[in-house]
A and B are shown apart, each in its own frame.
Chain A
């Protein structure tokens, strides 16, 4: 799916090395969305998933009396981090090093990939076990490791499914939501060594993954993880998960490499009090996720004896300079905004073409890469600006505001430019405006009868309005203007 279209563009010569990165959309959102909308199974699965998680979230959020003040506090803490980023990074590094970790700084994706690849080679490991991590997806670490002859093994069940299928995730939280159980069974039968089950019961499939990965965990020398939070005061890393694959990766291998976006910092350990209440409730709709691991450097005799932390910038300090757009860096990747988004619910994660889908992706991807990368500038248009994402966001990112800001600062599509300049010429003069409305009404008259069955909406308008109706139905102009109606009903009496 996502991968195959990526390859096609590369063959056509449009893609450069930087455009191949998984954070860059290689197709305009509207085009990709149209393709994805044709997938009925995706839409059905996604609709069910988003509805279920949405309802669960609403229930557990309603339980918490101080939810709103907590959101305010969390937003303020994250802003404090962005205001003092370099100082807090230095504090984190000092504390982590004192606890036995080695800290690396990566300016961009290629740099981070080179550091990690080198560290894995030092351990002479042919494979690494991985915990699901958005940061490593963002930099395309798996592809970089493969190019160096190292096999990355995803250990999160959904990520494993997606990896075995040579596919890309469609949701941050439930990446394989576009697969049904029978498809997963067939996939395991084809790609998972030692798989013999004939049943497609989720418990049986999960059991097969447990067996397969247990052997892998026991033999693994190196693990790669991200982090949900990094505590500046203590140098601690926090990893939130459900399945226990994270604990396996964080405990069994001798070497652990954590790739951590610099915005993951929290100043104080006590800040976790709010964030560990906000994240699980917003994310899976649980009061608490099954497992949270917090560790600081190396503990003799317990867990990995070599810990490398790669602090990843990759555009983040640049984004932190934008007074409006920087709020996107507060994001704790809970995916609540995806589940409430009417556009995401229908189009699905692949339509965004970037590792960060949904409302957060629409503001984060184009900012991290710059709007000129691939078609990332089309992502801020993947929204109706309804504001549902802002309401649920645990760190109160005003996503609609940033969307509008990015639309204003990015280059606009040609049709919108044409339509807007015509409109501004017409609207500047009262006579021109009235004439235009009259023309629209008489032009629409014959269409009205034809479109009555659809409630009087238009599927295709002529250019430049076609850019609007390509992906929306447009209402026809009213048969009578308010001015005319007023004159007819009031001035005659």
Chain B
């Protein structure tokens, strides 16, 4: 089994929603997954193409460290392309992100096939940690070349391990009541992973 296939199988085991597409289909797939959102939360540094087909209002998070580190990304251009976009220069607050019906769209730094894990490091297109925590729905894009075999390879692949890291394996879950698995306690109750194949 190839690494992308193993990743898709293992992440699917956690009951994350798994979706597959090519680079060309990606805007349409994302628009479909986010169609039910009242607003979509966007971290700085997302590729413009990802948001090209979105029609709902967007909440753009303000200048984060990662954004400053990557001057090339055209945040203002994309913001103009979105309808009724709100741009929060100071950064969105937890209360703003707690609004019902929000979805957040991010990429990831690296993904682990063996465990079906996505790893976010607050880099471009991922943003501050609370963006992927407070909204109830997280859509994450993973490209085949970002997938490594196991945890040690993931660590070797991180550009800087001192950035804030979040490893996510499926939606949040608890088994605290009679060992019954309940999904979605505090983090997003829905996690959709979009695998982009060449």
Contacts and interface: CB of A to CB of B under 8 A. Distances in A.
A59 interface: no
A284 B13 CA distance: 15
Interface string A257-273: 00000000000011011
Contacts of B65: 299-302
B165 A295 contact: yes
Given A157-B185, A206-B185, A244 B177 contact: no
Contacts of B186: 155, 210, 213-214, 217, 243-245, 247-248
B72 interface: no
B133 A158 contact: no
B133 A247 contact: yes
A218 B97 CA distance: 11
A477 B187 CA distance: 62
Interface stretch (B33-41, B74-82, B139-147, B166-174): B166-174
A276 B125 CA distance: 25
A170 to B, nearest CB: 12
Interface in B87-119: 91, 94-95, 98, 112, 114-117
Nearest to B122: A302
A251 B177 contact: no
A389 B48 CA distance: 54
Interface stretch (A173-181, A344-352, A485-493): A173-181
Contacts of A291: 166-169, 172, 187
A181 B177 contact: yes
A236 B122 CA distance: 15
A294 interface: yes
A299 B176 contact: no
Interface stretch (B20-28, B51-59, B156-164): B156-164
B18 interface: no
Given A244-B185, A247-B166, A252-B94, A269 B14 contact: no
Given A242-B173, A252-B130, A284-B175, A290 B187 contact: yes
A218 B95 contact: yes
B2 interface: no
Contact of A244 (B14, B98, B133): B133
A236 B171 CA distance: 25
Given A270-B155, A287-B10, A294 B98 contact: no
Query: Which of B165, B175, B179 has the most C-beta atoms of chain A within 10 angstroms of its own C-beta?
Result: B175
Contacts of A48: 179
A269 B133 contact: no
A176 B178 CA distance: 9
Contacts of A209: 185
Nearest to B154: A273
Nearest to B170: A290
A303 B164 CA distance: 9
B118 to A, nearest CB: 11
A84 interface: no
B88 to A, nearest CB: 12
B152 interface: yes
Given A214-B98, A272-B155, A290-B172, A205 B177 contact: yes
A161 interface: yes
A251 B133 CA distance: 9
A419 interface: no
B137 interface: no
Given A243-B172, A287-B114, A291-B167, A206 B177 contact: yes
B129 A234 contact: no
B129 A303 contact: yes
A288 interface: yes
**Residue from the set A236, A269, A297, A302 with the largest chain B CB neighbour count within 10 Å:** A302
A158 B178 contact: no
B114 to A, nearest CB: 7
A48 B175 CA distance: 13
Contacts of B168: 290-291
A437 interface: no
A277 B150 contact: yes
A49 interface: yes
Contacts of A321: none
Contacts of A25: none
A302 B172 contact: no
A202 interface: yes
Interface in A27-68: 45, 48-49, 52-53
B172 A242 contact: yes
Nearest to B187: A244
A402 to B, nearest CB: 29
Interface of B: 10, 13-14, 64-65, 91, 94-95, 98, 112, 114-117, 122, 128-130, 133, 150-152, 155-156, 161-180, 182, 184-187
Interface of A: 45, 48-49, 52-53, 99, 155-158, 161, 174-177, 179-181, 184, 202-203, 205-206, 209-210, 213-214, 217-218, 234, 236, 242-245, 247-248, 250-252, 269-270, 272-274, 276-277, 284, 286-297, 299-303
Given A214-B186, A252-B130, 20 more contacts: A157-B174, A157-B177, A174-B176, A205-B177, A206-B177, A217-B94, A218-B94, A234-B162, A242-B174, A244-B133, A245-B185, A247-B166, A247-B187, A276-B167, A290-B14, A291-B168, A294-B166, A299-B65, A301-B64, A303-B128
Which 7 residue pairs are nearest across A and B when measured between Cβ atoms? A273-B152, A244-B187, A244-B186, A288-B115, A244-B172, A158-B176, A243-B185
9 contacts: A45-B178, A161-B176, A179-B177, A242-B185, A243-B172, A243-B187, A244-B172, A252-B94, A292-B166
